[in-house]
A and B are shown apart, each in its own frame.
Chain A
């Protein structure tokens, strides 16, 4: 099976290679690979910048997924109502952010965030949400939030699509039966709809978590991990260690740790998928 071969060559092999590299040291001063065992893991797990990146990754992933799911979910509920006409057009328009390449989306937002010429501050000030222009990507407190907003903007449409599709699979007859039984909207949702879409929701949340953990472009373009290290997440940290600081050993160690984190979520995801798929 050639497909599996490609996957193996470009995935499995690098993964193993990567893990083996994480036991070696290679820096700009020491261009040869030197075996150091677990030393780099120990160093990394006690390093302030790494722990900071780890903390940012948790914040970044948690809030991105929370907002993506929440907004996407509400949109799906609203859009799937029978009263909505031209559903396809609405959906198509709302999904455009997801279609736009991540780099372009990030660039456009960076331009909108611009503290002098950005339209976002102008709008927010006019509407009265904020009093004066905010520095967005330039401030320690807002940099990560700025990136979370862009990530949410880009990915919530996908949630909408998945959940909406799943909502459509809820049998009409069941809902009608519930209504006949005197259930109000909320009860009907709880008893009939939710059990139907819950598995999809679970997988969507897991997928979003994994994608967000892996996401790189948004933060690279918007803040570059800055100011300082205030929006540095693991994927940025790895790229920076490898290609800026030329510390490939350290980068391999960090990416092995990232892989372990992703693998944990993947396992939960796969368990839940396999339940319904392969017996």
Chain B
């Protein structure tokens, strides 16, 4: 029987291959290449950089500048859309199909490092006396996994509050208040004056990333945090965190100052509502300024810091982007040079679509002349990264699911936070 023969051969083949892949993967332990790069100008290599699609008009110019300095290092750039980017990068890094360098969101660094997909940069930093102190604390902490640095940051941002100056003025307020306690009556007044046509603030409740982000930001503003210092225990059932979650829910359910569409809204929806003048405020980053101006160029908007809770210290989520080097790159030295170049002060200002990850660049010309930007950049120094652990996205999913239940009124905010704490402790 021919068929049976073929079948059994196939089966044998499958077994062999299964074994091959079973044994063949042992070589990808976290290698620590590196040291001083000697005669960097003479290194010749070909590198590939994977970059985000929104940098498509920026990166080629930077590569030209890089080549003025290092003419023998050829750099190819591939651009990826945000959809599925982290999945693609993780799979490619772990299976050895990735580029030499990747531009990544700081949130992914811990996962990539744990998966042994990216290069530990400690050796390079030590050998080259590379100064990390100019990076914001939030940036540095965000790329440090188990005490080792895995990426060089270039971009930094936090959320600020955008507000509609005209609507605030009509309601009798000149500027953003410092605290949430002062903010609530303003939002109520604006909502009341328009008979509910215009709401006080847009909050996203329909997309896990945006919702968990803003909830966390509020928890930070109240002095709480998701996890304790050493990431062993969830702190969402603390008084501070519950106070913040309560307000997050109350803005919608009790004070009625949030659009009815909250449960379907992501942050882009909030931006649209704000741009159309249907809400008086929303929280977002500098990247949204041009988008809002695209909706209504004449909108009289202002920016400022996100309010804090009375008596709490200012704290906010630090977010950013960095360059990592694949653990499997054949040219780690050249890759280090490029990563270093992209993280250098002037270049990082150009490279970042928001702010530079460097303190020394805080009042770079690009930001200083724009009042909208400079107000937002003020918050960066208060930023701390989300917990640098691989379970982060699971944690955020849990927070999202629980706060959604609270927003829909099925459980209270307190119950939601207690349940989330229980679930998060389970996966830690």
Contacts and interface: CB of A to CB of B under 8 A. Distances in A.
Query: Do A and B touch (CB < 8 Å)?
Result: yes
Interface of A: 8, 12-13, 16-17, 20-21, 24, 28-29, 31-33, 115-116, 133, 135-136, 138-139, 226-228, 242-244, 246
A31 B206 contact: no
A211 B390 CA distance: 36
Contacts of A8: 6, 10
B81 interface: no
Contacts of A139: 206, 263-264
A31 B115 CA distance: 8
Given A13-B13, A28-B94, A115 B208 contact: no
B111 interface: yes
Given A28-B115, A227-B207, A243-B87, A13 B14 contact: yes
Contacts of A12: 7, 10
Given A33-B25, A226-B208, A246 B401 contact: no
B28 A135 contact: no
A24 B272 CA distance: 48
Given A20-B18, A227-B206, A246 B264 contact: no
A243 B94 CA distance: 11
Given A24-B22, A243-B91, A16 B206 contact: no
Contacts of A13: 10, 13-14
Contacts of B207: 138, 226-227
Nearest to A239: B87
A99 to B, nearest CB: 25
B253 interface: no
27 contacts: A13-B10, A13-B13, A16-B11, A17-B14, A17-B18, A20-B15, A21-B18, A28-B94, A28-B111, A29-B114, A31-B116, A32-B22, A32-B26, A33-B18, A33-B22, A33-B25, A116-B269, A116-B272, A116-B273, A135-B206, A135-B263, A138-B206, A226-B207, A228-B397, A243-B87, A243-B90, A246-B94
Contacts of A226: 207-208
Contacts of B13: 13
Nearest to A9: B10
Interface residues of B, number: 41
- Is chain A's interface secondary structure helix, strand, loop, or mixed overall? loop
Contacts of B111: 28
Contacts of A115: 261, 264-265, 269
Interface in B305-338: none
B258 to A, nearest CB: 15
A139 B265 CA distance: 10
Contacts of B10: 8, 12-13, 16
Contacts of A133: 261
A244 B94 CA distance: 12
B65 interface: no
A135 B266 CA distance: 11
Nearest to A242: B91
Return the 10 tightest CB-CB contacts between A and B, nearest first: A135-B264, A138-B264, A16-B14, A33-B22, A138-B206, A244-B87, A28-B115, A243-B87, A17-B14, A20-B18
Given A12-B10, A135-B263, A228 B404 contact: yes
A115 B404 CA distance: 18
A98 to B, nearest CB: 25
A12 B401 CA distance: 40
B263 A17 contact: no
Contacts of B21: 33
B400 interface: yes
A272 B122 CA distance: 65
Contacts of A116: 269, 272-273
Contacts of B266: 138
A28 B266 CA distance: 30
A134 to B, nearest CB: 9
